Amino acid sequence: MVIVVWIYSIASPIVETLLSDRRHYMEGKTTTVPLAEALNDLGAVVVPAVAIAATFFVMLYWRVPGPSVMIAVLPGIVLAANEFAHGRPPTLGLLLTSAVGALLVSVRVKMSELTILAYLGAAVAGASLLAFFFEPSKVLVSGGIGTFDKSLTGAPLLAGIFSHSNTFGMFLALSLPCAFLVRRWFVRLLLVAVLCAALVLSSSRTALAGAAAVLAVMILARLLPRPAFLSVAVAGFIASIVALFWLPLTETDPEAYTFRGAIWIFDREQLGGHWMFGLGAHWFADNYALLRDALSSAASHAHNLALTTLVQGGAVVLAAVGALVVAGFVSALRHPSARERAVGIAFVIGLLVIGATETPISLVGWSPLSASVMIPLVALAGRPWIEREEEMFARATANDAPVVPLTRAALRQRTR
């Protein structure tokens, strides 16, 4: 299921890469390849149907913890329900994240299984690096024409299978933590090296900041004793959240952060007093012409996770997304495995660092980054209830006794 969800995320970018001429691509102006658009439309119908059917099938034979399902589906459900506040019925695409979240919880995706994302991410990175030398026009932004202004290496911007190098960079940075779950050190080192090499060639400053946060967490996890590391992790988590809100809500310089300041100022003005329920899930798409004329073709979102969510769904949706992220972080903090604890913390903090200047979590439809974000986040957030359910079932089966929930004290004792 992890592979299926992941393939659904990148199927459209792969088709775009194979069938489009990147040399003439212009963001916001070049039309989508019809086959890629058809895949998106088909997936928006098939994926929720398959996810819901698979979830009900699993529930026939195995109990699925209610809290795990609720935390996974909450953002999409609240966003869909919030559409009624704007006098519109919700669209099916708003329920995609909820359907896939329920599916991932029902099949009980574990942290240890996220190595799949590392291998798949490194495969995309490796193929992009090869194409960089042998078929550059397919993997460079605009085929490598006029893209040196943002380059950190002097080389054209590597976008891989994606339409922009920033998307490619975020994809790599979100795959990076999963590489540290690989047991064999030489395989782990190879995966990290391939991901980092492609990341540097993307020249995505946002993604590089997120990757730096991931590497810092992993290094500190090795150097510090557990109590000190957990304290530093909590401090880093709080600092990331502060930055997530502080940057877009207080910035007054339009040229700040590569002209993201102008986007933040404009979106704050448009949001006005609609902080509670936002402007609607499809506001960016409905007003794309206005955004393009006032700002640029890159203004189809607020370039900040908190502000984008506020515009689309207000504080009610932001609270639902925040609950999922906080649940994932707390679960990572309390993970009994040192390796998986460090990876979980690194992923959440890296995600928040990226979210300060980009929008890695898409609640409308299923984006090329959705699998890279939602699979680890749901695996982390739902873990405590799933593991508790499995332990209760194992005890009842072994002793042929009724299932009795463990107390919190007993659970803490088990994880030490």
pLDDT band at 411 (very low <50, low <70, confident <90, very high): very low
Place of tokens 């695996």: 379
- Residue in this structure with the two tokens 């659970």, named with its chain if needed: 411
Q: Are 247 and 256 in contact (CB under 8 A)?
A: no
DSSP state at residue 164: S
Mean pLDDT score, 30-46: 69
Is the pLDDT reported for residue 60 higher than 80?
no
Q: Is residue 396 part of a domain?
A: no
* Angle of CA points 10, 365, 325, to nearest 5°: 90
**Cα 101–104–107 angle (5° rounding)?**
145
Number of DSSP helices (H) and strands (E) in the chain, helices first = 17, 0
Q: What gap in Å lies between CA 203 and CA 166, rounded to an integer?
A: 8
Q: Could you tell me which residues come within 8 angstroms of residue 56 by beta carbon, excluding any fewer than 6 positions away?
A: none
Q: Does the pLDDT of residue 264 top 70, yes or no? A: yes
Q: Looking at the predicted structure, is the pLDDT value of residue 282 above 60? A: yes
User: Which residues, listed in sequence order, are joined to residue 158 by a DSSP beta bridge?
Assistant: 140
Which pLDDT band holds residue 30 (cuts at 50, 70, 90)? low
Answer yes or no: is 405 within a domain: no
pLDDT of the residue at 393: 67
Instruction: Please compute, for residue 267, the number of CA atoms within 13 A of its CA located in the half-sphere on the CB side.
Output: 32
Count of C-beta atoms within a 10 Å radius of residue 235: 10
Residue of higher predicted confidence among 372 and 392: 372
The pTM score is: 0.90
* Residue 363 contacts residue 75 (beta carbons within 8 Å): yes
Residue 103 lies in a domain: yes
Torsional sign, CA 378, 382, 383, 386: negative
Sign of the CA dihedral running 56, 58, 60, 63: negative
Whether 414 has a pLDDT exceeding 70, the answer reads no
Residue 83 lies in a domain: yes
Q: Which residues contact 227 (CB under 8 A, 6 or more apart)?
A: none
Q: Is residue 414 part of a domain?
A: no
d(CA 247, CA 201): 26
Q: What percent of the chain has pLDDT over 70?
A: 88
- Write out pLDDT tens, residues 291-339: 888 787 668 899 999 999 999 999 999 999 999 999 999 999 999 999 9
The SS3 assignment for 143 reads: helix
Range(s) of the domain holding residue 320: 2-381
Would residue 389 count as lying in a domain? no
Residue 158, helix vs strand vs coil: strand
How many distinct structural domains can be found in the chain?
1
In whole angstroms, what is the distance from residue 286 CA to residue 273 CA? 19
Whether 388 maps to a domain, the answer reads: no
Contact by Cβ (8 Å): 173, 214: yes
Q: Looking at the domain assignment, is residue 390 inside a domain?
A: no
Encoded amino acid at 276, one letter = M
Residue 377 pLDDT greater than 90, yes or no: yes
Residue type, position 59, single letter: M
Residue 140 DSSP one-character state: B
Percent of the chain exceeding pLDDT 90 equals 54
CB 320 within 8 A of CB 75: yes
